[in-house]
């Protein structure tokens, strides 16, 4: 079954969507959408470094994303710059640095389009294994620290006062983000990763009464988007990554219309 | 003030100061809260009330002096600002268990005491300011804390509700035997059950019983003029009850037509004339 590239793509996409759902909820609750962009832009630098040092791309992307996360935290504590300025600074410097590095390596032919928009149909068995070990790891850690992480998200000072450790949980959260960026880059590409995190979560919002429910619904919405997007791309011969994001956007739109209709009927 | 550290001390601030961007937010603050004690912080805007509370809680680390908390201190905190983003679906029930799991009975009892048991399943963003404030108080007491820190707990609550909440706070002190640090949003109003009032203005300006502070020259100096002439104190003494038929039952069981002039008031303000 895994011999078929389309089946592999489907499984990989579903795996990523299941992890991206809950994490995406945390990102929009924390108003960190731009942080997702920053990490994904810096992923390009990770790719460049992986090519230079001949190491696994996912691993290199994870390391660069983790490093950028820590720099964000450090700059937030040490400078008076507002958070969005720090994110902008790191986002574009790392993106530019990545592009410069890639251009310097003239002997390596890099498929820039595949990096920017993903190449889900080229997912190998090894990639699948990485996605699933990474994904299960991220979900496991997320479940263990869910309550304190959520408390820190709602009100960090309160969490601290009542004996939790919001700083530590925030660092763990950022590392989880780095992992998800690394494993999902191949699926939707650097430019569209944030979409996979945020759009399913926003679609789930209208139908959720609790944070846990929203996290699960976001996962479901993401999986639906992956399936619909991949079959759509097969049917109309469109690029797979962008098709998934378009499907997610369509789901978001549909939920808004549905919620409005239900609201009127009540 | 007695600053010796006894096992009963929940939190002690020893001449703590906090500097930010070259400015001292507070400096030389001594504070000591024991079990069963209510300490009220008052002071003008920017006098460091919330900063002092954060130092006591350990959210902020002092640049000088020392802050010590009892080991395994269980804290209930009602912060001054608590914004819930629209994107966050959160029911009262879930908010009650924000920092730790609680038994359903503990949740219900706490909500009942705060007078908002009917809101258990409501979504937070549908609550009014006053209701939300009550829910936050209920959340803090449901944890059965050793130390309760309330930063302007009655903001947005109407007058009658304010009196009821102040009563509840002193009741909590008795049932939980916890220490309470209360920050008053209205510096002219201090609840009568307060054991000690600390008047802050970047430093401890004066402290003592509500009456003593109201009469102290430092307090009058700080707030000056007619505004400072009165320090209103909520008195609540159950020495008589108004019965439905209009008669009054006294603590000794006797029933009369009206209250005596020297009866304790309930749900009314008694002002201590300090001018």
Is B79's CB within 8 Å of A157's CB?
A: yes
- Ordered by start, the domain boundaries in chain A are 5-194
When pLDDT is cut at 50, 70 and 90, the band that residue B160 belongs to is confident
CB-CB contact of A189 with A219 (8 Å): no
- pLDDT cut 70: percent of chain A above it: 98
Mean pLDDT of chain A: 88
State the pLDDT at residue B237.
41
State the pLDDT at residue B9.
85
CB-CB contact of B191 with B233 (8 Å): yes
| CATH code assigned to B9-74+145-273 | 3.40.50.300
State the pLDDT at residue B271.
39
State the pLDDT at residue B1.
43
In terms of C-beta density within 10 A (0-12 exposed, 13-18 middle, 19 or more buried), how is residue B79 classed? Answer: buried
What distance in Å separates the CA atoms of residue B156 and residue B86, rounded to the nearest whole number? 20
When pLDDT is cut at 50, 70 and 90, the band that residue A266 belongs to is low
Instruction: Using an 8 Å CB-CB cutoff, list chain B residues near A148.
Output: 99
Could you give phi then psi for residue B274, rounded to 5 degrees? -105, -10
| Prediction ipTM score | 0.82
**What residues in chain B have their Cβ under 8 A from chain A's Cβ atoms?**
54, 57-59, 74-77, 79, 82, 84-85, 87-91, 94-95, 97-101, 123, 143, 149
Choose among B165, B161, B171, B271: nearest CA to B215.
Answer: B271
pLDDT at residue B270 tops 80: no
Q: Mutate which of B88, B102, B125, B137 to test chain A, going by most A C-beta atoms within 10 A? A: B88
State the pLDDT at residue B258.
55
In terms of C-beta density within 10 A (0-12 exposed, 13-18 middle, 19 or more buried), how is residue B11 classed? Answer: buried
- Ordered by start, the domain boundaries in chain B are 9-74+145-273, 85-144
Does the model's pTM come out above 0.90? Answer: no
When pLDDT is cut at 50, 70 and 90, the band that residue B255 belongs to is low
Is B77's CB within 8 Å of A158's CB?
A: yes
Nearest chain A CA: its distance from B121 CA (Å) = 10
Least CA distance to B74: which residue of chain A?
A162
When pLDDT is cut at 50, 70 and 90, the band that residue B248 belongs to is low
Instruction: Using an 8 Å CB-CB cutoff, list chain B residues near A29.
Output: 85, 87-88
Is B85's CB within 8 Å of A147's CB?
A: no
Higher pLDDT: A118 or B5? It is: A118
As a whole number, mean pLDDT of residues B64-72 equals 89
State the pLDDT at residue B268.
35
When pLDDT is cut at 50, 70 and 90, the band that residue B229 belongs to is very low
Strand partners, B149: B77, B181
Counting one residue from chain A and one from chain B, the pairs whose CB atoms sit within 8 A come to: 70
What is the assigned CATH class of domain A5-194?
mainly alpha
When pLDDT is cut at 50, 70 and 90, the band that residue B256 belongs to is low
Q: How far is CA A209 from the centre of its chain?
A: 24
As a whole number, mean pLDDT of residues A173-189 equals 87
When pLDDT is cut at 50, 70 and 90, the band that residue B33 belongs to is very high
As a whole number, mean pLDDT of residues B51-70 equals 91
Is B57's CB within 8 Å of A210's CB?
A: no
State the pLDDT at residue B21.
80
Q: Mutate which of A29, A151, A157, A167 to test chain B, going by most B C-beta atoms within 10 A? A: A157
State the pLDDT at residue B72.
87
When pLDDT is cut at 50, 70 and 90, the band that residue A3 belongs to is low
Choose among B161, B52, B158, B152: nearest CA to B114.
Answer: B161
As a whole number, mean pLDDT of residues A63-69 equals 93
pLDDT at residue A25 tops 90: yes
State the pLDDT at residue B226.
47
Instruction: Using an 8 Å CB-CB cutoff, list chain A residues near B143.
Output: 162
When pLDDT is cut at 50, 70 and 90, the band that residue B238 belongs to is very low
Q: Give the pair of three-digit tokens for residue B127.
A: 């609550």
* A161 interfaces chain B, CB cutoff of 8 Å: yes
Is B89's CB within 8 Å of A151's CB?
A: no
Could you give phi then psi for residue B204, rounded to 5 degrees? -75, 115
Instruction: Using an 8 Å CB-CB cutoff, list chain B residues near A150.
Output: 98
């Amino acid at each position: 079954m895994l011999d078929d590239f389309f089946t592999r793509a489907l499984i990989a996409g579903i795996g990523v969507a299941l992890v991206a759902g809950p994490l995406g909820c945390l990102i929009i609750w924390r108003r960190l959408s731009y942080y997702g962009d920053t990490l994904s832009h810096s992923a390009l630098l990770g790719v460049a470094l992986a090519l230079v040092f001949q190491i696994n791309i996912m691993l290199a992307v994870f390391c660069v994303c983790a490093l950028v996360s820590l720099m964000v935290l450090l700059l937030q504590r040490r400078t008076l710059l507002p958070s969005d300025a720090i994110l902008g600074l790191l986002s574009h410097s790392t993106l530019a640095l990545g592009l410069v590095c890639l251009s310097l390596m003239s002997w390596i032919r890099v498929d820039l389009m595949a990096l920017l928009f993903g190449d889900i149909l080229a997912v190998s068995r090894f990639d699948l294994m990485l996605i699933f070990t990474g994904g299960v790891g991220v979900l496991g850690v997320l479940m263990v620290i869910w309550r304190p992480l959520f408390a820190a998200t709602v009100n960090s000072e309160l969490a601290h006062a009542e004996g939790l450790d919001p700083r530590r949980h925030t660092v763990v959260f950022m590392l989880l983000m780095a992992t998800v960026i690394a494993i999902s880059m191949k699926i939707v590409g650097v430019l569209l990763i944030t979409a996979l995190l945020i759009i399913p979560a926003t679609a789930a919002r209208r139908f959720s009464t609790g944070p846990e429910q929203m996290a699960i619904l976001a996962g479901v919405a993401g999986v639906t988007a992956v399936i619909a997007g991949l079959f759509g791309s097969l049917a109309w011969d469109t690029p797979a990554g962008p098709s998934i994001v378009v499907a997610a956007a369509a789901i978001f739109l549909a939920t808004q219309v549905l919620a409005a209709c239900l609201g009127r009927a009540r | 003030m007695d600053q010796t550290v006894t096992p009963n001390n929940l939190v002690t601030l020893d001449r703590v100061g906090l500097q930010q961007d070259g400015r001292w937010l507070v400096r030389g603050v001594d504070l000591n809260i024991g079990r069963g004690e209510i300490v009220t912080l008052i002071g003008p805007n920017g006098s460091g009330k919330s900063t002092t509370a954060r130092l006591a809680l350990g959210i902020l680390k002092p640049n000088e002096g020392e802050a010590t908390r009892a080991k395994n201190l269980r804290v209930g905190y009602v912060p001054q600002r608590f914004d819930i983003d629209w994107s966050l679906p959160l029911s009262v029930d879930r908010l009650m268990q924000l920092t730790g799991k609680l038994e359903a009975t503990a949740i219900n009892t706490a909500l009942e005491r705060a007078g908002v048991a009917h809101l258990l399943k409501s979504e937070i963003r549908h609550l009014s300011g006053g209701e939300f404030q009550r829910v936050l108080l209920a959340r803090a007491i449901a944890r059965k804390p050793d130390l309760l820190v309330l930063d302007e707990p009655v903001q947005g609550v109407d007058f009658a509700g304010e009196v009821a909440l102040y009563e509840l706070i002193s009741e909590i002190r008795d049932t939980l035997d916890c220490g309470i640090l209360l920050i008053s949003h209205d510096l002219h109003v201090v609840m009568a059950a307060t054991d000690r009032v600390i008047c802050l203005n970047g430093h401890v300006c004066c402290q003592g019983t509500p009456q003593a502070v109201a009469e102290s020259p430092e307090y009058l100096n700080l707030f000056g003029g007619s505004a400072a002439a009165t320090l209103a104190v909520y008195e609540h003494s159950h020495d008589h009850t108004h019965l439905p038929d209009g008669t009054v039952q006294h603590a000794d069981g006797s029933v009369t037509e009206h209250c005596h002039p020297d009866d304790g008031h309930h749900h009314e303000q008694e002002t201590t004339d300090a001018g």
